[in-house]
Structure 1
Amino acid sequence: MYLMSVEPHVLRKELGDFGSIIFLKSILTGIEETIGERTAAIAMIAAGRKQGKNSIEELGLVNKGVALSLDEIREKANSILGQEGSRLCIIDKIEQEGKAYRVYAKETFCSSGEPDDSTRTCTYTLGAIQGFLEAFLGKRLQGKQIGSVLRGSTHDVIEYIILD
């Protein structure tokens, strides 16, 4: 039997912190069916944002990103949200143009298992990355998805605008 070493952040001794993406997607679709897609999207963005912020706070990285390059920020994001972290998504690239950050993610939780041309958007992923960036950079952001692997893009692309 496989037992994980018990560290302070491990929630379950034997099963560990990871669960099935199939069950998580079932939770999402169940919430959408119960309260509607728009309300569920608001809730999922807020939940993701909270988790992203909490991750930065737990690691003591609040406002630590302002002196880093975008590639270094991407590396930190992947260590928290990627394969070494929560496995929410893989961030391939972060670009900045003026007051906008564009994040290029793949294998996102929200897009997984969806058929081509699905209208699903990356609400939880958008929120988690937003919370991460807001806490890490010390800036308030507003995010929207501008590209989707479900509709022909190579990545799920999320744009975050700095709010003054």
Structure 2
Amino acid sequence: MLEIKRDKLGQLSSIESFRAIVEGMTDALGDKATAVALTSAGRKHGKEVAAKLGFNGSEQNLDDAAKQITELLGEKGSRLCIIDRIVRDGDSIKVYALETLCAIGGTEESPPKCTFTLGLVWGVLGELLQSKLKASQTESVLRGDSYDLFEFTVLT
């Protein structure tokens, strides 16, 4: 991948710009196609994050994984989100996320979905567990919940 260096602006951008990208994609492609594209982009980036953290097929403790992911994506990293905890119960995995990039903007009638962040977590977990997963967002801070909760079911 070609690395672009921004000497004055650095590697970070604004949430406002991200929302404008998502809204522009939605206007051009529609809700479903935008959700598919953003989830796919998130999964691809999640696989890259997993490789960067050395998670590919490792026997990583999920508590330690949550800390390492947050280190890379949280306040000291790219500021995408904070992974508060990852809980596994058999074939079910719940990821409790805070301050997700996707959970900004929208309206009460049409709150944004955390498609990119969900995809990213999905990509990381798939690589960490070396499993195919089914994913969904079951709670949202925009609906008054305490977390953006992502739930995964292990398929293989």
Tell me whether the two structures share a fold, i.e. TM-score over 0.5: yes
Q: Superposition pairs for residues 1-164 of structure 1, below 5 Å?
A: 11-64=5-58, 66=59, 68-116=60-108, 118-164=110-156
How far did 1:91 drift?
1.0
| Number of residue pairs the alignment of both structures matches | 154
Which amino acid in 1 is paired with 2:30? Answer: G
Q: Is the 8 A contact 1:95 1:102 kept in 2?
A: yes
Q: Tell me: CA distance 1:58–1:93, structure 2 relative to 1, closer, same or farther (3 Å).
A: closer
Change (3 A) 1:151 1:145: same
Deviation of the 1:77 alpha carbon: 1.3
Identity of aligned residues (%): 38
What 5-or-longer segments of structure 2 have no aligned partner?
none
Q: TM-score, normalised by structure 2?
A: 0.90
Q: CA deviation at 1:31?
A: 0.2
Q: CA RMSD in A?
A: 1.8
